[in-house]
Structures are given as structure tokens and as C-alpha cells.
Structure 1
Amino acid sequence: MQKLASPASVLLIALLVGYLTGRVRSTALAKSTCQDECGSVTIPFPFGIGVGCFLNKWYEIICEGDSIKVPRLKKIGVEVLKISLPYSRNHGDMYTSPSGTIEVRLPIVFSNKKCISNDYRTGWAAPSLDGSPFVYSKDKNKFFVFSCHHQAVINNTGQVLAGCKSECRGANFSDSGICSGYNGCCEMGISSMVLREFGVNFMPEDGLTTGVGDECSYALLAKESWLRPKLTNLHDLKGEGFVLGVLEWGIPSNSSLEVRLSQSCQHCGKGSISVLPNAVHQFYCSPGYIGNPYVANGCQDIDECRDPLFSHCPGFCENKVGSFRCRDTTKLFEIVMRELEKATDNFNDDRILGKGGQGTVYKGMLSDGTIVAVKKSGALDEGKVKQFINEVLILSQINHRNVVKLLGCCLETEVPLLVYDYISNGTLYQYLHEPNEESPVSWEVRLRLAMEIAGALSYLHSATSIPIYHRDIKSTNILLDQNYQAKVADFGTSRSVPLEKTHLTTLVQGTFGYLDPEYFQTSQFTDKSDVYSFGVVLVELLTGQKPICQLRAEEGRSLATYFIISLENNCLFDILDHQILQQAEEEEVAAVAELAKRCLNLNGRS
């Protein structure tokens, strides 16, 4: 038999299911039936390739080339290097530009034909943006001149807008990367201009318009942050003859798209750029969201807890729609009995969330407004006290986003009380087996839940200071929060395992249907036993069926056995939940089914 190293297998499951989830969860940037890339450049709507894929003629991209694809703005004729969507300035510069931008290739302008042997330019007009929803970025671009005896000017229809003069009196700019105006290089910002069309011309330093001579000078408009590091070595750049410039873009005011977004875009903000005389607006996803506001449902919640660039949370991070919550996890806090009585209306029966072998769970609200779940043990026999102590010890060392969080405890009474985060959407068992017809459980959600449960198990088995065996993984012990994210719960029967030990010899505990047969036969609980139980949950997610069903033939009453028999008879697709049959790709289903089969391997150590 193939050896199955359980923690690694669980991690493999998490990674593979995460890969599959990523395929179905990625936020659409282009229209659903449109090409969204040309070469290495992503093309988000309102830009597009092909009929019906762009907003209007200004946003049309043509994708040229055979082996190497190059995108161009068809109307303007410039090569596109990158298109960035705008975002709220509160996000910080992590994914896109604060303003929607297009990075394009702009030519270097040379003073005479001796400067370069190929496509030289001794006077140059920039691609005209007149009438377009674009403007040359005044914040990101800068004008540079490289010369010893020339000045270069930016002009518009013959009118000089600005310029700078470069002389050679000291150390060359290549030594410092700084343009002083006296070291062969000068530079000028364009923040006071609205540039939509302009040209570049050279003049001698005395200001005359003729007689520039044979000196090889050159000028360029380029993205400052891109060019600055290249100032110490411009040889290759001059040879290529092009630099990177930046356009800002928006959508026309009162266009049908602008009107629709203004009225109905969820989680969106709105700004504008200076492209007079045209009014142009930019839409961006609100803080806490990311994506493309120009497509339907394009702004998606950022899971700050998955990305530390967003959350900077050193403690326990809880994702919320549009935000997150960060709590200190350095210690549990003790809660007085009086507060818990007030929080639960004196443990009113109307506040009961559920009852089990380890006690009753009540919903309550603490004085600071925190909604909590309070577990009250139903008896004080020695076994219950041990389970209470065990649960406190186990949960106090756990900090994982997919494990229910123990907030504190009350030690004032004989009956021990534990206080947890309140998880609002019930159990996975209820979600799968008591479904809401209006909100069926999609394939995408099933994959995500599988990934989250697997990640939590991998953490318990291998990432805590001492490995933890849960010993009762089942769909009723997996809670769902307000975002339907999985939270593994109920650690009363869990055990910490010294690193040098591979198993625990205990009285058999667990739930039939989820119980590892090897553990049942030997009384030796290993990490593989948890993985077996996870395999049953995975089959529940695939089939929508309960772990034990008396209506099936005797050999198939156990869902695990029924699943294995179906695989052996090539009948997998006969037992899948109808939602999966309608939504999932066959290869994805087959991959997850194979993972479930590995988890249910009856001899995981041989």
C-alpha cells in the first residue's frame, strides 16, 4: 500500500483545493466572453480586444505579432505596456495605481541625424490625445533634456509651454543620477500643465531657433520613477530609442457606463481627472474591496487576513466584509459570572444555540458589544472537568483563522464556563443537509470550505508548538461564520501529542460514520485518523449525503464505503450532488475525489 504522511497530505489537499478554488474565484477584469490578455499585458474593461469587448473606439486594443504579442491603442497608435485600474488611495500602493493609468512607449527625440543611425527624430509631436478620455500624467511624467549646449522646449501648436537648458560645467549626471542643469542633464516637472498634445524642439542655448549644430542632444518625456534609476547608464536606452510614459484615463461624464456606475455600482468610489474641456471620471473599488468596478460585481471583498500587506495584524485576524478585526492573542481574559449572566439573560433557554455531550452553548453579548457563544458544562463529574481543562489548554495555544477562537473563561462557579467567538451561520452539517433552496451550496463554496478545513487540520498537526489531534472532525463540528468561512470547533476530546510520539492509545471516542476503522480496531489514534474523518467530510461536500444512511444497502450505509464502492465501479458522477454536476469541470471533480479516496485509505501507514 502507498504510504500516506498525514500532515503533508492535508497540506497537499489545502494547496490543490486552493488552486482549484483560485480558478473559479478569480475576479473578472474583462467582459466574460472577451480576451483579457495580450502577451503579458492584462486588458481590463473598459479596454478590450475585439467587437463588443471595449467601451468605445478610444478603448479598443489591437493585439499584434505572431510569437510575441504586442498590444496597441488602435485609435492613438501607441504600444501599451501596462493598464492599471484606479483604486482608493486608502489601500496604499500594493496592486494598482491610485489613478487609472496606461503605461506606453514614447520615442526619444534627438537633435540631429548623427545621433542615431536608425529612426532618428529632430522634431517630434507626441501622439495626440485630443478628444480622448486620456491625458499625459502630470504627476508621474517628467521632461528630461540631455545636452551640453542646447535647450529643449515643449510646445503646443507653435506655442512654447515650457522647457529647460542643459550645460556641461561639472561632473556628468551619470555619476550621480541627478540632473542639475549643469552636468549635461536638466529636468522639468509638468504638474502645471494639462498635456493632451504637444511637440518637442531643440534650440541653441542662446535662445535662437536655428543653428543647433552637430552636437548630439536628446530629450524625452518619461515616467520619473522608471527613468531615474537608469540615469547612470543610458547607453542601452538611447540605442532602443524609446522610453516609458504614462497616460491617465477615465470614462466620459454622462456616458451610459458612467451613469450606470454612478447609480448602481456596489462598493465603488468616484473621482475625476483634469482633461479639460472634457469631463472624465474614474471609478474605483472602495476601501476593503479590490477588483474592476467597470464590470458587474467587479469589486470583491479583500480578505485582509490572508494578506499581511493589508492587515498588519500581529494577533488574531478576523476578516469582515469590507474590513477586518485584529485582536490581541497573547492571553485569555477572565470574565466575571455577573457579566455572563447579563450577556445571556441568566442563561435563558431562548439563548440556547445547541446542546451536546459536553454541555449547552448560549448566545450572548458582552458589555463592549462583542457577540459571544458561552459553553456551560452540564455536569461536574471528573470526566467533564478534565474535558473542560483539556479544551482550555488546547485552544489557548491555537491561533488560526479557520479554528474557532476561545476568548476567555469564567472560574467563579463550580460549573466551568468557556467564552468563544460567536459563529453566526450554524454548522456545515446544516448547510449541506438542511439546505436553503434560495441559496444552494455552489461548487466554488464547497472547494473553499474544503481548503479551509484542510488548512486548519494541517496547522493543528504540524504548525502548533505541540501537535494536536482533534479526534472528532465531522460536519457538525465545523461552524460557518457570517462570510460562510469554516471554523473547526469542539476540542473537548482533542489531545496534544509529544513530538516523539506518533499515536495515542485511548478509549475509542468519536462519531460513527467519521471514525477511522484502523483507530476503531487498534485504539491507536494518529494524525491519519483525523485525515480519515476529513475524507468523510470531503465526500459529504462532493455528494451532499449524510455520513450514515439506513436507506442504502447494508454494505453502503457508511458514506465512506459507499463512495469507495462507487469509485471502483466507475459510478462517481452518479452519486455527486446535482449542484456539482451543473457547475464543476470533470477534471476538478476527479481531482478532489482522488484526494478523498487517499484520505479514506484504510491502511494509511503501510
Structure 2
Amino acid sequence: MNMVVHGLFLVAILILASTKLVMGQSTPICQTKCGNVSIEFPFGLSTGCYYAGQDNFNLTCNETTNELFFFNMQVINIAHSGELRVLQSTSFTCYNSENNTNELFYNTNLVNFTLSNKNRFTAVGCNTYAFMTTFKRDRNYSTGCLSLCDSTPKENGLCSGDGCCQTSVPKRSRRFRIRSRRFDRETSVSDFNPCFYAFLVEDGMFSFSPSQDLQNLRNVTKFPIVLDWSIGEQTCLQVGNTSICGKNSECLNSTTRTGYNCKCKAGYEGNPYLLDGCQDIDECTTSSTIYRHNCSASSTCNNTMGHFLCYCPPGYNLNATNNSCMRKGRSEYYGWTRIFLATTVGFLAILLVFGCVEQKIKHRKNTELRKHFFEQNGGGMLRQRLSGAGTSNSDVKIFTEEGMKEATNGYEESRILGQGGQGTVYKGILPDNSVVAIKKARLGDSSQVEQFINEVLVLSQINHRNVVKLLGCCLETEVPLLVYEFINSGTLYDHLHGSMSNSYLTWEHRLRIAVEIAGTLAYLHSSASIPIIHRDVKTANILLDENLTAKVADFGASRLIPMDKEQLTTMVQGTLGYLDPEYYNTGLLNEKSDVYSFGVVLMELLTGQKALCFEKPQQSKHLVNYFACAMKEDRLHEVVDSQVMKENNQREIHEAARIAVECTRLMGEERPRMKEVAAQLEALGVAKTKHELSDQYNEPEVNKHLVGVEILPAQGDTGTTGYDSIKNVTRLNIEAGR
């Protein structure tokens, strides 16, 4: 009988213990500290001490070193809000004088935890690049950055690409790999930079010191990173009363991942994941300045559950404004009477005059609002510049905000034609049934206002049939609008690679499109009233109408070049794959930067391939490199689109390929001007109609300085090679990824 009683008693204890764990209550015997790190539920070190629904919460304490570990990463802090701070090892690659490599990289699996967007991916080293590949289901995604320098940088704390670079990381990543590389393995190892590093670090927890980090960063083996965690995979609404949040706490959906987290209600503090973890804060006695009461010296504080009250002694009333006590009396009565009478008289007076001034106030308010938006959107700057000399589109129409709403059907999503860095483009229908494209700027700071004004200013200088025509703008709205002619056949990118890639462009189409683009750029550089550099020439910015006529668009990044200058110093802007490497490294913008970008577009027309494609093999990722090597090795037939490679147009294709290679030469001074390019391409079309093509065409020798062509020193050459940042950039090897 006694054995039966004891057995029932044991079962009851187990049931109670199980109930507590389900409700989020750890047992009293659980270890709550490892070294100087506190361990609180849902985390724990042994069965029954951590949330049993997820094994991730099971941590390990090394009793010898007093260090807490999550798998193989040391834990330094646990936050109830859903953040876990751990130390992550660095990845590095070191080279000796014989170019032998000592490399260490990491492939990390976070299981059910994910990377926080508070982390920064960082690379340290001269002439190096680093990349981070994250694995999500059946797809890989990559991010990375470049670091360039030929001597020890001077500025401390800056990680802007000179010896050190940083970039954001994709959040919600559970498995990732980080690696570092240098551009040119043939470059001798520098004493000040023998190693290259790549690592994740919490934002603000790494300050770059060039003199130390380029040599001794290998001694720093780990950096703090932030992981996001939550309970389960369901929202608070889905789990309902079955959440593990304890009393006096509330359930909050995780903002960084699936699942939920718990938080103590206002007026309570403690561990919200325990059954009785959130305890009332006694605001009347606490020493904390955050939670302490604000009762004045004349009033008395009385603590309540989750709050406090201020009380006054008999004969006094509490002033709710400052929680002070005021004596009751006749003066108070008369004071309230005077306030009431004054309020009543004032209210009646307002009613008397309200009807007379209501319309005037409303009209003035609307006028002021429109004026405010007009000035905010750069209207004054635009009016001043358009009134200057050289403007040709003096008939730019000003549209009203109501007219724009009507034209886009309230900016309906189905009217969106495309979205980009400078804004969203809608299809609009004006009252006369004419179809237009309406660009709604994406404004966040004054520089984007400047880009908007710049686009209007640039287009006001242009009157060319192959440039998309600006019809007008609207500045009365919170964000400005530009109205263009509607081009209905998509972009050149769509026809070559995108949604319209099935549409067949013949060689005649492609040659004519190339001639039109080249002629337009030549006009911008040489014939406009003020020379204009487009600065973002790419197939996505070339529109095609129903006759496949090219229209150059998107002048938000363009720059006007004063007549007395040949180049400008600007912040580098453009699109990877089309960006002039000389401009990228010097910041000096001139017309040859557009020539380089056009050369890439011409290569796309010839090959039907993208300018930059990470999914392709290493040797063919960058079209310029791949194309130049094919020309040099007499393999042009391997890269040219088979649809346009016919017997009767091989001479034209070889000549166009030669022009494309010349446009993408390394040095800007070696590239032709756009006028020369346009004339040569136009001559190809004229020659086709007058002459029979020859059966054989000897390809001219490609200049040895072409971008992407590796120039190896002769055997035994001991001459010193100077640092060439452009060459290093073009030999960049980027791992596969998105």
C-alpha cells in the first residue's frame, strides 16, 4: 500500500514539473550562470532547464574556461527581446613571398537561429575582395565588397573601401560561408599587408586601424555578432493561450523572423518566459531613474500593481500637470469661474467670426501647402535653372496633382510600368486620351531632390528623336512627378534578356539600334547646347517603340559639363558591369565613361548575353573580359549570338566587335569619341547596301591593354611592376551566387 502511495506521489510531482515546463517555468536546480554570462529560460544547460520545443536553446558551459557555448560559438549575452550575441571566428588568407597560401574559412550552420541585420560583413586588406555566401533551401545568395589600396591608408575608423570595406548582410540567413581573396596572386606580398581577412561583426563593434589591422588582425580571432531567435514558427494569434509567456507579460510577433517573443508589461520587470517571471516594479521605492515615480515633494506615492498613484493630504487637491498638491479654497472656485466665463466668451467670439473667415483660411492653407511642396520639391531651383541660357524645352507643361491622380487611377498598382533607384513609373492616360509615362520620384533626402531637378534640367537641353521626350512635371504633390512620352515596347534589356527575350532581333535591328544609341550619345557629348554625360548607359535604360526605334531614357544620374571643362570630379555612380573602371578608381567623369558603357551595350547586342552574370562559369561572368579574350584568341564565333551569325554579315559583325573592344579599352584616352563610334557604325549599314561581303575577314590585332586581357611578364623578367588598380579590378573572381 505504501509503495502505491509513493508511486502516485511521484507521478503527481512529475505532472506538476511537466506543467511548469510547458508554461515556461525552469526548475529551481537549473544553473543560472556560466562565467559572467547569465542563463535564463528559455535557454538552459540541461534537460528541463531549457524550452523543450526547440533544441537550439540547449547551451553548453565549459567548466574549465567558464565559457558558454551555442554549438561551437561562444555566447557573450542573451536578451529577452530575441537577440543572442556570440563570438564568430574570422576567415583569412595569408600569402608568403613564394605566393604559398595559408587559408582559413568557415562554413557556419545556425540551425534554427538566424543572422540579424545588425551585423556587417567586413573585409580588411589591400587589393582584396571578400564574399559571403548564404544558403537558403535550394538557392545560394552571395554578397561581398572590394578593398583597394597600394600603401597603408591614413584615416582611422573608416571602412569605406581603402584597406577596409563593409556591407550589409541578408537577414534570416541560417547557414553561410565567408572567404577572402586578393585580386592578383602574382603581386609580391607587401610587408604591411601579408594577410586578407573576412568576418561578420555587430554594427559599431569594429573600428578600422590601418597601421595595426593590416598586419596584426590575425591575432584577433573572433568578433561579436548578433543572432535572432524566437519561440516556434507561429504568430501570437496562432498560438493563442498556449504561448509560453508568463503572467504580467505580453506576446509579440518577431519582427526579424517567424515565431514570437515575450515581453513584460509596463510597470513589470523580470523574465517574461517564466510563469511568475515578471514582477511588479515598486516605483515608490526603486532607485532606478527609469521606473521611479514623479510625485512631487508635497504629494505621497502609493504603489499599485504595474503602476503608482500620487495622493495629497486632506484639504489639498492634486494638480495632474505636475503631480503637486494645491490647497482648496474660495480662490480656486473663483479661479475656475473666471476660466469658464473667459472660455465661453472666447468660444462665442470664435463662432461669430468663424463663418466669415473659414473660406479664406481654407484657401490660404491650400495655397501655402502647394507652395510648400513646390519649394520642397526644388521648384525654385528648377525655375531659376530653366530660366537660364541654353534651355530648349521652354514649353514644359506644369500638371496639377488632381490631373496626375486621375491619369493613374489613384496610382493603381496595375499601372506600374517599372521601379528603380530614382522612383516608380506609372502608365497614365490624360483627358485627351493620350498615353504617357509618369515617373513618381522616390525622395528621402536633398540629394534625390537634386537628381530630380537634374533630370528635368538635362532633358530641357535635349531635342533629339532618340531621346525620350519630357512633356512636363508636377511639383504640387508631396513627391514630384515627371511626365514623359509613352514608349510601348519595353526596354532593350527586356528584348535581350528579360520578359521579351523570345522576341527575335535580327542583325539589321541590332545594328540600327546600336547606330541610334551611338548617334544619341554623340549628340549629347558634342551637339547639345551644354555637353551632357549620361553616366548610366545600359540596356535597361534604352526604350524601344513599336518600330524598335531606340529611345535613351533615365537622365537622373546625368551631368552637364561646362564648356570650359573636359571632366568633372563626382561621387562614383553607375551600374556594375557597365561602369567605366577608370572613372570608378579616379572619380573623374568625362565623355569616355559613356563610351565604355556603350561598348558593353554593343557587346550585349552582338552576343545576347548579360553584362555581368554570376551564374556563369568564372571565365565568362564578366562580358567585357570574355568578349575581349575571344577576340584576341580568334574565337569570336563562340560568343556572338548564333541567331545573327550568318555568312553574309560576318564582316559587319567583326567590325562591330572591333568597335566594341576599342570602346572598352582600359585607358579612356585610348577609346574613340562617340562621334567616331557613331560614324563607324553608320558606315557599316551604308557599306552593306553597296558592297558584297568578302568571304574571309582578317581580324585586326587587339591592343594588349584591353580590359580583361592578362599580360604576363616574359620568363625571367625581374622588373618591378607598379600597382594597377584597374587591372586588379578586372581580374576579380566572384564566387557563384545571387
Q: TM-score range by the shorter chain?
A: 0.3 to 0.5
Q: When the two structures are superposed, what TM-score results if normalisation uses the length of structure 2? A: 0.37
Q: When the two structures are superposed, what TM-score results if normalisation uses the length of structure 1? A: 0.45
Decide which structure has the larger Cα Rg and report it. Answer: 2
Structure with the bigger RCO (C-alpha within 8 Å, sep 6+) is: 1
